[in-house]
Amino acid sequence: MATVDKDINEVSKKITKVKRIVKKRVEELEYKDLEETSVTEDVYWKDLEFSHPEKTVRLGTLFSGIGAIEHAFQRLGLKHNIVFAGDIEPNCKKSYFANYDIKEEDWFDDIRDFDARKYKGQVDLIVGGAPCQAFSMVGHRLGFEDARGTLFFEFARVVKETKPKVFLFENVRGLLNHDKGRTWHVMHDIFEELGYDVKFRVLNSRDYGIPQHRERVYCLGFKKKTNFLYPAPIELEYKMYDFLEDYIDSKYFLKEKGVKFVTSHKNREKSYTQINGDIQLCQKRNQQFNWHGDFVYHPQALDEIPDEKFDEFIFDVREVEEKYYLSEKVAKYVLAGGTKNFKTSTETDLDVARPLLQSMHKMHRAGVDNYVTHKGRIRKLTPRECLRLMGFKDSFKIVVSDTAMYQQAGNSIVVDVLIALLKQMDITKYGV
């Protein structure tokens, strides 16, 4: 907590100057109605094809964390080059370097010391979510009075110095109504003054394929005028249960080749198989060898390395370690309904997860965090499950402690929302 307080109350000439500028700008604001950009009513974003898959997108990230946009490019199989990235948290650097290709000289630790002018004209897309605690509903809500809130200006500075074709700024939805909307008004004006066509909208990850309630502002800036509309929500096909690691070993579970065949769209169209059918297909003596006939879906993680040719979530399987199960004493705490003055939900095993928090390693009450039951016991989510609920496939290497991984997952951007945005804007148009 001491570190957080230090961040909030940090004083420097630069921060004092920024606060003075913000105060002056707020006083001079000319009111205008800032309406969220609409969603498209045209083509379903999942069906969109990239126009220039042969092009390489040059990517720069700020407050990079564990690289959500980088993982989105990996999942989409798009050509990309990481021009620069950085994060002040040392453990983020460990995770980042274990999962992405970047040169040491292109990594920075503190954005306040990062001179981006040498990258001018060398970046197509810049992505970053400045620390959100300053504007979060569960934070101090100090905005620009919080030293972390002033880091927005560092994001704007890097955009000014590098002049990317597109930028994406992500933050909590509370940003829009902070200080009666004046905080966002200042930010929006600054982006426009930098010469960008600004679009913004609050998106919930549960509307883009991930069973987690997580609302965030996604602000896009385009160097050239555009008629961009945000991707339309899709029906949620999965529950949180589908992302869990619990596993029952059985010779009757399909292995990777069988799973791919049975769940593929091509197979469904030809009706070779059915899953959880009401009426059984014609029984075949060789169905166990050629995967034709009837199958039952068991709601557990399946033994398969992710393959983005199929849009189903297929994960590695593993037993859940004992350390993730709660002791009787801790279980009683997290399931307590609260006190006379503070009431909280005791619901576990949700279909759609509560927002993942960077502090979930501390194990809050059930109404704040996510807990699941298995074989009559209650447990917290594992770091791998938290990554899955942020859209990271099991190919993502975990190289830090559980505590660090919980924090990194909770601070990240949901990968699947980024994928929807990249497809909707056809990011390859901006490549080289």
Catalytic residues: 132
CA 217 to chain centre: 12
Q: How many C-beta neighbours within 10 Å does residue 259 have?
A: 20
Q: CA 320 to CA 302: how far, in whole Å?
A: 14
391's torsion region: left (phi>0), alpha (psi -120 to 50) or beta? Answer: left
Residues 246 and 320 sit within 8 Å (Cβ to Cβ): yes
Q: How many C-beta neighbours within 10 Å does residue 229 have?
A: 16
Q: CA 222 to CA 244: how far, in whole Å?
A: 38
Q: How many C-beta neighbours within 10 Å does residue 367 have?
A: 17
Q: Which two tokens stand for residue 389?
A: 């609920």
Q: CA 212 to CA 215: how far, in whole Å?
A: 9
Q: Closest Cα partner for 229 from 423, 40, 429?
A: 40
Strand pairing category for 215-222 and 197-204: antiparallel
Q: CA 26 to CA 46: how far, in whole Å?
A: 41
Strand pairing category for 215-222 and 273-275: unpaired
Helix (H) or strand (E) holding 229: none
